[in-house]
Structure 1
């Protein structure tokens, strides 16, 4: 890895990445052109259960957000860095799977409300968010009670069939997995009065509980924000420590990059602060193991994302514990076709 930049110059390549295959075997992958200049996702991306293709890696492979491998993740980035488009691609990819989407968007819902037909629950202000998170914690406790009842610990049950999470439960008993998307975490952590401070502590405590205990109950967190540091108050660094996946778009200062990768990889911090302003969607993605890679998200317009969410609205599950937070939306109205829409195409 340390020699990869010198190898890039020696072989006149665009990029050289090193990856350890097994003990004593290292793979060098060389790219002759800028893969991230114009992102074109392949038609068949190999998506799976709780595994969503969201971006292209600099070595030409597809980057996946795999919730079974990294249950919780942090996504940071400055304004106009492409953070929202990454989040939009993620929601659009999850919309086609049998999963419950729960959103917290304290910007009055401007980012997630257009996709609300695919959301089981949505909160657009901190007060509602606190109640929603409490309901999620209660739902998590109910799921654990279900797992306890169905662990099948009798002596005649094979070890492989003993369960400690929802994925080993029978299909007819398995609860729907939930992905919680928090659009701007700082809005949940800031306060200006004693009452707001109490609400803030309640919110952060609930998020920490979900991050520590939610994986086995099928609850996964996607925390987004421009900054995510200790200045947001107590409990924030405890929450960050539970977020295995890390994605950092362009940031305005090195401190913000350190918040994402400072405890993971100094090289990733350096790569993050070198992201150019004219390459929106470019990010550095890594995990708690120290490995990282540059990625770029394909541009997905809000209109296309809304169309995907509306087309998959029939997949939106009902979770009784979250019924009070289900978005109430008018019925879709079919727009009549115009003459231009029905005219034959010219050769």
Structure 2
């Protein structure tokens, strides 16, 4: 699959991400489908799908937030365009606190704009606010959701329960505040722990690449259409990038993402770093991007003076 030769005309927060079997593009529309679950085993093409998503969003006036508890190894290449990055469970817990505070502040803004006065606006979400007063959209990418659920001690369990609760709050209420979730993982099942099924219910969009177990396919697509889950289990290992996409309407289709190398995706994020919006609450979590070192000064070779 190759990207379209000419950029498809889309609205803000809509991205053509993969080619469907019928020849049309699967378009990710955050305002219609605010939250999405992306599953796929290693080498299934999940990372390529995510690269296309991040590069499409990087070119738009959107705040990108990354949560990658594998010490940031997956999302670090996109750091120049990220407004925030948490690379450990403790940092992720703190970042979720800030995101919940940002969401509550946006709800207060909506309430104030809906009060009496000449500037009153009757709306229940940020998209009904005047453009000058509208907060910038925030897309939160969780690279490996299982890392948020794992716990090895009682302290870890308390932190796990707190993080999952905050994540579910964002999934339930974030759409109206312009905060959207992309939750990724190699597998997803009820055995992850308390809150897993409740979180899954809030993730309207579903993208399932090749997975290693039938449970993950059923968790992703079984509540949409049983035949969609069956189709996901039949994706061959030699066809990376192929996925089954579905939503709560019951419709589903096979898609395949255009190949995008990590180097090219990282270059897009470097080139669009100037589009990072101002969100003071996230400044503490802004990743430190090392500046390219200057080229070493090479002294010209000199010939020995001979008499």
How far does residue 185 in structure 1 lie from its aligned partner after superposition?
0.2
Structure-to-structure mapping, 1:90-105, within 5 angstroms: 90-105=53-68
Structure-to-structure mapping, 1:115-264, within 5 angstroms: 115-151=78-114, 162-264=122-224
Partner-residue secondary structure (3-state), 1:321: helix
How far does residue 318 in structure 1 lie from its aligned partner after superposition?
2.4
Q: Would the alpha carbon gap of residues 334 and 291 (structure 1) be closer, same or farther in structure 2, given more than 3 Å must change?
A: farther
How far does residue 332 in structure 1 lie from its aligned partner after superposition?
4.5
Tell me what 1:313 maps to.
273
Structure-2 separation of matches of 1:116 and 1:143: 25
Tell me what 2:233 maps to.
273
The structure with higher relative contact order (CA 8 Å, sep 6+) is: 2
Structure-1 separation of matches of 2:44 and 2:242: 8
* Structure 1 residue corresponding to 2:7, chosen from 44, 58, 67: 44
Partner-residue secondary structure (3-state), 1:69: coil
Structure-2 separation of matches of 1:219 and 1:117: 20
Q: What is the RMSD of the two structures over their aligned residues, measured on CA atoms?
A: 1.7
* Structure 2 residue corresponding to 1:296, chosen from 231, 251, 256: 256
Partner-residue secondary structure (3-state), 1:59: coil
Partner-residue secondary structure (3-state), 2:277: coil
Structure-1 separation of matches of 2:272 and 2:134: 21
Gaps of 5+ in 1: 1-37, 337-347
Q: Would the alpha carbon gap of residues 143 and 274 (structure 1) be closer, same or farther in structure 2, given more than 3 Å must change?
A: same
The answer on whether the counterparts of 2:113 and 2:119 sit within 8 Å (CA) in structure 1 is no
The answer on whether the counterparts of 1:98 and 1:176 sit within 8 Å (CA) in structure 2 is yes
Q: Would the alpha carbon gap of residues 234 and 281 (structure 1) be closer, same or farther in structure 2, given more than 3 Å must change?
A: same
Structure-2 separation of matches of 1:59 and 1:103: 33
Structure-1 separation of matches of 2:3 and 2:182: 24
The answer on whether the counterparts of 1:176 and 1:218 sit within 8 Å (CA) in structure 2 is yes
Partner-residue secondary structure (3-state), 1:44: coil
| TM-score of the pair, normalised by structure 1 | 0.82
Structure-2 separation of matches of 1:269 and 1:163: 38
1:127-152: per-residue Cα shift (whole Å, max 9, x none)? Answer: 10000001100110001000101125
Partner-residue secondary structure (3-state), 2:176: coil
1:68-110: per-residue Cα shift (whole Å, max 9, x none)? Answer: 0100000011111011111111000000000000000112111
Structure-1 separation of matches of 2:62 and 2:152: 36
1:100-123: per-residue Cα shift (whole Å, max 9, x none)? Answer: 000001121111111101000000
Structure-2 separation of matches of 1:210 and 1:267: 30
Partner-residue secondary structure (3-state), 1:172: helix
How far does residue 46 in structure 1 lie from its aligned partner after superposition?
2.1
Structure-2 separation of matches of 1:97 and 1:220: 15
Tell me what 1:74 maps to.
37
The answer on whether the counterparts of 1:56 and 1:296 sit within 8 Å (CA) in structure 2 is yes
The answer on whether the counterparts of 1:227 and 1:259 sit within 8 Å (CA) in structure 2 is no
* Structure 2 residue corresponding to 1:286, chosen from 246, 251, 272: 246
Partner-residue secondary structure (3-state), 2:182: strand
Partner-residue secondary structure (3-state), 1:318: coil
Q: Which stretches of structure 1, 4 residues or longer, exceed 4 Å deviation after superposition? A: 332-336
Structure-1 separation of matches of 2:116 and 2:56: 37
How far does residue 331 in structure 1 lie from its aligned partner after superposition?
2.9
Q: Does 1:88 align with 2:51?
A: yes
